[in-house]
Structure 1
């Protein structure tokens, strides 16, 4: 346990990672900064996507870690110590191979960190491998041969090829024409509240499976085609969901609402995160799969994902300004109560909602609106995480549902809190 913070409800994530990293010693020095902490790129390219995997382990996401998960995160980093030490050794060897090859383009950490982690898992420590220098040279040559085949470029070329674009547009039209009209409208659904009452402490695997087997998520998606429903959930700007375009460009800073994204934008959002290399290989399958996914219930392919969206819809009831009122409705489930408590104890939320002057310096109006309608941001992020899991082939089990539901709110809260702090600091105030 990190010294001096054992009594806190949560531990700053960066402090916890730095504490565990320091115990790995000089073996990871090539991946560390002068103060002995992991480099920003080490966290971004290795620790987060390949060791901690916060998308798969929402309890490791966000700027703070619940005290109940501190030891687990620490053990996870320490358990990866041998692989990280081997990664550092491979990085040193690959950099020498790069210099010998006269390569100067690109940042070595961006280009080689993840490949060195792969080499560590494939070959172990290079000092124990005869011919390791040759492997490093081949790696440098391979990386720079691939530079002309960047995955997003391949995706763009695939969806914009004139002949192929006609075929894909036909697939998209047929997929939306074949959307099921047999979905029945449904409210909370049998078993949803019961599952939400126990998912944080005693997740019921059989009940979870029953919800999926009975198509509860698919049934509840019928509501999304009613005017304004999907828009009120923050999933689209339109009155009703409509077929997406194929698209020809995408920007991470200007992504539309989930249901309004083109096929290009949906896959681009995933490619800008760290993907398993094999998941990036088959662009045609990814594009065709995304076309069919866009026409499915909740625009998700798996029933487990659809059920999770319905659970998130129910658990997030009251996550807005009214959730702070003393006269607000009673929580509908244990999960709903837990999310409301997390939201209600955020002091920045009270600050933003209670300030009477909409022009108060340091509080952007769009942030005010996000706080007032946080449920929309919550459901958007939940959809994005489920969509990413599907693209990576990661299943959602009963035991992981609460960590996911809670982690999404934690992530939204951290983003909003950071935005407020930055805005206030620019105006000379403090959050």
Structure 2
């Protein structure tokens, strides 16, 4: 029986038989990692439909099938390489800076190769039109305009004064920190409990409490009252209370979620919003300052309530510890179990329990991310909710909220699984040599 072959080696050998794809290739002649990720796997091999061809080790039949599929698509891959060159040139001409050029243009180049074949005399105009469709007219212009607007010293001084004034002017809502509404929704997950939470100031109240001296202690009490758990560092702020976020990104002192600059938040909005739907930059900045001043940096009470829900659920998300302890709300237990049963988590638990490295080259950052799943989850949840806030969207009912939170947990898990898988694949050559 033939010995299994490394998939990366099979790809490299087949790729080297395709001429005219140098811009998609690495120095050793094989496909770039991003070429595999953005073109070969999803568009040529279609590993989602052919999972057997996506495995790190391939048997003889799978290796032959993968090679055949790649070589059969050689003409389109050659055209893709030519289209990528045009797209890269037009990005510079249009001053588009959003996204990594390979991440953005590799799949777009393949799409153009599929639709138009080899670039012809009108290739420059076609590439420019495709980029405008993808990014919106003048994709990077909004970010450039924002930078120029904030660079004016008088504008920056006025905006900073406005930010501090609005921050100080927001009162803590009466009625405590909204624990009863949060607890009721966590326990029941009903539409009536969601309406009560969404229409209340509970989310804003908990977020605003974090700004007071001892704010972290208030949050910890709320979490313990609802879930019975201690609160780890969730990455919300640096000290015991939230500091006023800076106006400019260059003045940020850390990566904490609630202390991100106004500029960083507006840049995220610009990247999400098509140019023809985008208000003037000055209006976006003013809107964001108002949003920053609200509890948890989210203007709509329902969205602040969603984030508060995430905060009280997050301490239960400790997949490396296995099942959540007794007494934790059922929804939080299900979310944790969703991740804890993943193969990569089970592998990590075995490795750590045995005192062995998780990967061939111990990666403390990877282990830290696995242990800080709650922090990773909250970061993704806030970004999603900020996008909703900008658009004025809110979950319609309890099912929408459950789907939102469950989806963010899943997304966080998939991202970490990919990182662990990449680290493990790096060990395959030494495993093959030892076999």
What TM-score range do you get, normalising by the shorter chain?
Answer: 0.5 to 0.7
Check whether the contact 2:291–2:298 (CA below 8 A) recurs between aligned residues.
Answer: yes
Aligned position for 1:171:
162
Q: Which deviates more, 408-417 or 351-360?
A: 351-360
Please tell me the root mean square deviation across aligned C-alpha atoms, in Å: 4.2
Give 1:331 shift: 3.1
**Paired residues, number:** 318
**What TM-score, normalized by structure 2, do the two folds share?**
0.61
* Residue 339 (structure 2) aligned to one of 318, 321, 343: 343
* Residue 280 (structure 2) aligned to one of 275, 279, 282: 282
- Tell me, in whole angstroms, the C-alpha distance in 1 between the residues paired with 2:277 and 2:236: 26
Aligned position for 1:3:
none
- Tell me, in whole angstroms, the C-alpha distance in 2 between the residues paired with 1:242 and 1:358: 40
Aligned position for 1:195:
185
CA spacing shift, 1:35–1:182, aligned 2, 3 Å: farther
Aligned position for 1:83:
none
Give 1:400 shift: 1.5
- Tell me, in whole angstroms, the C-alpha distance in 1 between the residues paired with 2:279 and 2:74: 37
| Equivalences for residues 16-415 of structure 1 within 5 A | 99=123, 108=128, 111-114=131-134, 143=137, 146=138, 150-182=141-173, 184-186=175-177, 188-190=179-181, 192-197=182-187, 199=189, 203-204=190-191, 206-225=192-211, 226-228=214-216, 232-247=233-248, 256-272=255-271, 274-320=272-318, 323-324=321-322, 328-333=325-330, 335-354=331-350, 355=352, 356-357=354-355, 360=358, 361-398=360-397, 399-415=399-415
SS in 2 for 1:180: coil
SS in 2 for 1:214: coil
**What TM-score, normalized by structure 1, do the two folds share?**
0.62
Check whether the contact 1:185–1:223 (CA below 8 A) recurs between aligned residues.
Answer: no
- Tell me, in whole angstroms, the C-alpha distance in 2 between the residues paired with 1:187 and 1:13: 46
- Higher Rg of the two aligned structures: 2
Gaps of at least 5 residues in structure 1 are 1-11, 20-32, 42-86, 119-142
Gaps of at least 5 residues in structure 2 are 1-40, 51-72, 84-110, 220-231
